[in-house]
Structure 1
């Protein structure tokens, strides 16, 4: 990922937060037949390894798990993002030398991917992933709520994904390269938007240089 120094993010706490909040990731593998990508929810087990381990599952019919990767796999996580109009820049009134851009957060995680179909491991991964997203609900659904035979049949239709993160790249492009006046204009403009994602990015803009 191209990451100018101003936008580089190395804080592991922030990187893990972006990964958790992204909810849906994209698993990319390079193979002798070309690139293969699958959008899928993943959870991060921070107790394993230096950077943690990602877990999820694919449909058994998905050819990605059957096609050997030629190197590391890549998982893409997209965080908050927003279009930035040059009309918000103070510099527009000063000299007009401004152009549109996009602010965003992104994390790229790399590692050797493992696919598995052991029923016990699959059930454990599915149970943890389900609990992660059901927990906030008033009446959370659990895997054990479904009939055992039905669950067993569903598990036969998927393949587990395990990716120990070997290296990780983070980028937070939040107008850090603009003047304080321009950044204040961007924050104010985004805050007035009716789009929740714009308002979220507005709160992230650093309005004073550190």
Structure 2
């Protein structure tokens, strides 16, 4: 019998032959070899399954982070446009009120709508759900930092800090920063936000920059 093609059948045949030959030592050695082979095969299968599961989970987290980065970028751009449109609306309203005092009623312009944060909130919540251990710590701290940035009224500063969050997340998933370093970077962003928001006299720390120029 071709043992390479039919390994299990071959082993069973060897066991049967050993029993029929009434050679007890051969039988037990064959049985032991079969059990050892089965255990080794099982251990290999479990190891491969765990590796595949870990790789799949890592891929799912990478996809979730990519989606979060896109949502942060989208919101930041939309909020910048909103602030510009709002200023334009305020100037137009001031002109309209001046005209109203001078020559009668004029048609008011509709106030622009502020951008929705649902995309960011959903993406970061999905990231929290998908992660465990150190990755979960990063996801939860990221959620807190993004939430607090929502209250930063300086839209230019907000845009800068959103950009910092994106770069930190990219470095994390690119394996340039481990979980502890990533959380430390997020802490720096939150500290910068706190100082800007409160108008504190504390020195503003440099924005975290995960990447350095080759010349540095």
Shorter-chain TM-score: which interval? under 0.3
More strand by share: 1
- The two structures have a TM-score, normalised by structure 1, of 0.22
More helix by share: 2
Structure number with greater CO (CA < 8 Å, separation at least 6) is: 1
- The two structures have a TM-score, normalised by structure 2, of 0.22
